[in-house]
Amino acid sequence: MRPPASRLGAAALALALSAAASGAQLPPSAADILFERPQLQALKPGDSLDYSYSFKSADQNLFGPSFDDRIGLRIEPGDAPDKKTVAVDMFSNERRRAAGPFEDMTGNPLLTLMLEENLQRLARIFQANPRYIKTAIRLALRNAVATPDQTAAGAPGWRVEVAPFRDDPNKARMRGLDALTYLFRVSPDAPGEITEIDISAHDAKGGVLFEESARYAGKAR
């Protein structure tokens, strides 16, 4: 049972006072590092971000076939100096699909692209209302906090990991995907800040049941 709001507020206040007394810095919220930061601030028109994309499936009839591809983002001028328009190359060749452009952005639209791709896939698998799935993910991220992390190159960063469907009342109908975890890794030192998004579920033996991921692959002019 969820504690009353007053108890949640008291707990948060106690944590803040404890951190202040010790001189420690509270970890940022998931909403802050994923949705509020100006992740495109260091980029300029003409820059491009490339992300490798991978989808793996243990049952292609149920979840769809496995494949590897890419997502490309191109930075274009926005209507204000601190905002950008982002053109999107969502997959390639026969898998290419319409996406964007995203106008007057300060945040990295990779987050929106990945969550929307995942949302539509899950809605097809479960024959479910996308709003139900979206709400579960949003609530999980709203209550999450970041933990310290670093990139493969050793740059400091943050990670956020949530399991939105772990306690879902309909988990018995989710074909094992109630175990889905959503992992986000970000670093202020990385172009576009988002370095990895990994959405995965594993079977009882640790094998991949369902996985889709995007990883930063480079920046080019």
Residue 178's CB is within 10 A of a number of other CB atoms, namely: 17
Q: Which residue has the higher pLDDT, 215 or 81?
A: 215
Q: Is residue 203 predicted with pLDDT exceeding 50?
A: yes
Mean of all residue pLDDT scores within the chain: 86
183 or 220, higher pLDDT:
183
As a whole number of angstroms, the distance between CA 151 and CA 28 comes to: 18
The stretch 35-44 carries a mean pLDDT of 94
* Cβ(215)–Cβ(196) below 8 Å: yes
Q: Within its chain, how far is the Cα of 10 from the centroid?
A: 29
Is residue 5 predicted with pLDDT exceeding 60?
no
Peptide bond preceding 101: is omega within 30 degrees of 0, i.e. cis?
yes
Percent of the chain with pLDDT over 70: 88
Q: What is the mean pLDDT of residues 129-148?
A: 93
**pLDDT at site 11:** 39
